Structure 1
Amino acid sequence: MWPGLVGKGPDSEPPISLEQMLDLTAAADVNGVKFDGVDLFASAPHTDIDSTPDDLKKLADSIARRNLVVGSLVAPVWPPTGGGSCFGSEEERKNYLTQVRKACIMGRTLKEIGIRKYGIIRVDTAASPSQWAENPVENTKKAAATLTEACNIAEEYGERLALEGEICWGAMHSWRRVVELLEAVNRPQTLGYQADMAHSMLYTLGYNAPQDRILPENFDWNDKATLMAAFKTLTDALRPWTIDFHVAQNDGTVHGAGSHDKTGRHCPVNDPNGKMDVVEVAGLWLRGTDGQHTKAMQHICWDGCMFPNAMMLNPQTWNDILATMIKVRDAHGWD
Structure 2
Amino acid sequence: MHTFPKLHNATWPGIVGKGPDSEPILSLDTMLELTAGAEVNGITFDGVDLGLFEQHVNLDADDQEIQALADKISGFGLEVGSLVAPIWGGPALGSASEQAFFLEQVRKSCRFGQKLRQIGIRPGGVIRIDSASSPEQWATDPQGNTQKIADTFRRACDIAAEYGETLAAEGEVCWGGMHSWKTMLETLEAVDRPNLGFQADMSHTLLYLLGTNRPEDRILPPDFDWSDRDTLQEALQTLTATLRPWTVDFHVAQNDGTVYGTGSHDKTGRHCLPTDPAGKLDIVHDAGYWLRDEKGQLTKAFRHICWDGCMFPNEVMQRQQTWNDILAVMIQVREAHGWSEA
Q: TM-score, normalised by structure 1?
A: 0.98
Q: Does 1:176 align with 2:182?
A: yes
The residue aligned with 1:274 is 279
Q: C-alpha distance in 2, partners of 1:170/1:88? A: 12
Q: C-alpha distance in 2, partners of 1:194/1:49? A: 22
Q: Partner of 2:232: helix, strand, or coil?
A: helix
The residue aligned with 1:314 is 319
Cα deviation 1:169-221 (Å, max 9, x = unaligned): 0001110000000001111x200000000011100000110000000112100
Q: C-alpha distance in 2, partners of 1:171/1:64? A: 37
Q: Partner of 1:283: helix, strand, or coil?
A: helix
Q: C-alpha distance in 2, partners of 1:287/1:49? A: 35
Q: Partner of 2:151: helix, strand, or coil?
A: helix
Q: Does 1:39 align with 2:49?
A: yes
Q: C-alpha distance in 2, partners of 1:298/1:150? A: 23
For residues 1-335 of structure 1, the aligned pairs below 5 Å read: 1-79=11-89, 84-187=90-193, 189-335=194-340
Q: TM-score, normalised by structure 2?
A: 0.96
Give percent identity, aligned residues only: 61
Cα deviation 1:128-186 (Å, max 9, x = unaligned): 00000111111000100000001100110000000110000000111000000000111
Q: C-alpha distance in 2, partners of 1:215/1:238? A: 17
Greater Cα offset, 4-13 or 43-52: 43-52
Aligned residues: 330
Q: C-alpha distance in 2, partners of 1:13/1:48? A: 22
Q: Give every structure 1 segment of 4 or more consecutive aligned residues whose post-TM-superposition deviation is greater than 6 Å.
A: none
Q: C-alpha distance in 1, partners of 2:40/2:289? A: 25
Whichever residue aligns with residue 24 of structure 2, its letter is P
Query: Unaligned stretches of 5+ in structure 2?
Result: 1-10
Whichever residue aligns with residue 40 of structure 1, its letter is L
Whichever residue aligns with residue 126 of structure 1, its letter is A
Cα deviation 1:209-236 (Å, max 9, x = unaligned): 0000000112100000001101111111
Q: In angstroms, what is the RMSD of aligned CA positions?
A: 0.6
Larger relative contact order (CA 8 Å, sep ≥ 6): 2
Distance apart, 1:54 and its partner CA: 1.3
